[in-house]
Amino acid sequence: MKRLGTLLAITLTIIIASLTLTFFIDQNLVIIIVHNQFTSVFIIVALFLTVLLQNSFLLLRRPIIRRNNNGVLMRDLNIVREEMDRADRYQYGLSLVVIRINEIEELSNKYASPVDDILNDMSGLLKSTVRYSDIIMELDRDTLLLVLPNTDLVGAKTVATKINRQINDTEISKFDITVRTASTQHFAGNTVDALINELILSLKEEA
């Protein structure tokens, strides 16, 4: 889909650019006469439409997904499976990162419902950190899952370290919370359940 979007964008650019050029053949030389009054405008419009079309195909690439009130994806491992299938098909790296809040039980016992506020602020923080193509999902009431396309294990660990430091150094919903993170990379033949179990086991080992 992305390749098709790029091809259509290039085609559109060529068509618009061709409207701004007049070709004359004189003594076996191709002379390009540019209409100075309109060329700059047409080129800018062509570039804008190219970027707009490419971004539109990136939007279409994403499945229709359900989000909670915090704007975070609700748990839907089918989305993860689709990303794994896409990574296998186009042969690019895909990694997963889990983020677990350490103090969620303690806060739940002390306060009415801090979980929504914490996840709301945390998801906002993550959105400013991860890329547009990355997916943020609730894995459990105290755990978020990041799906990172075009990312190997080293890159995933770098993202996890950055997020860990950022959250631990930031007051979330007026609470001083800490998180644990774990990372893994998908390879062909892996299943979603196997990767999730691996991540959860890693979190328990860090506890």
pLDDT confidence of residue 64? 44
Q: Please check the confidence at residue 86 and state whether its pLDDT lies above 60.
A: yes
pLDDT tens per residue across span 163-200 = 988 888 887 767 778 899 999 999 999 999 999 999 99
CB 50 within 8 Å of CB 21: no
- Give 36-68 pLDDT, tens digit per residue: 555 656 666 666 666 555 554 444 444 444 566
Q: Which of 178, 198, 181 is nearest to 98 (CA)?
A: 181
Rounded to the nearest integer, the mean pLDDT of the chain is 75
Confidence of residue 31 (pLDDT cuts 50, 70, 90): very low
So what's the pLDDT on residue 60?
Answer: 43
Q: Which residue has the higher pLDDT, 153 or 14?
A: 153
Where do runs of H (alpha helix) occur along the chain? 2-18, 36-61, 77-90, 104-110, 114-127, 153-168, 192-206
- Which amino acid is present at 143? T
pLDDT band at 28 (very low <50, low <70, confident <90, very high): very low
Q: What is the pLDDT of residues 93-119, one digit of tens each?
A: 999 999 998 877 777 777 665 677 777
- Token digits for 3? 């390749």
Mean pLDDT of 151-163: 95
